[in-house]
Amino acid sequence: MNDRYLSVDQVAELLGTTARFPRRLIEERRIRYVKVGRHVRIPASAVTEFVESHTVEPVRFRPAGLRRAA
């Protein structure tokens, strides 16, 4: 239990969004969360996993002179 639990507002600030976005992720069950009574908390590791799974790596193009003819 070494994970830090964040409120919806803290996650929104961390992601640079409004609170509506993490609430939607919770509603659609696209991110792990914990219910503590009526409060919802999101583990910091769940935020990291969400960001990593939705990260798009850049496409690397070869320089024009090195392309092989088909």
21 found inside a domain: yes
Structure tokens at 16: 């640079």
17 found inside a domain: yes
Where do the DSSP E strands lie in 1-70? Answer: 5-6, 34-36, 39-43
User: How many domains does the chain contain in total?
Assistant: 1
11 found inside a domain: yes
27 found inside a domain: yes
22 found inside a domain: yes
Q: Which tens digit of pLDDT belongs to each residue from 26-66?
A: 999 999 999 999 999 999 999 999 999 999 999 988 776 66
- Kindly report the pTM of this predicted structure: 0.78
Q: Which domain holds residue 27?
A: 5-53
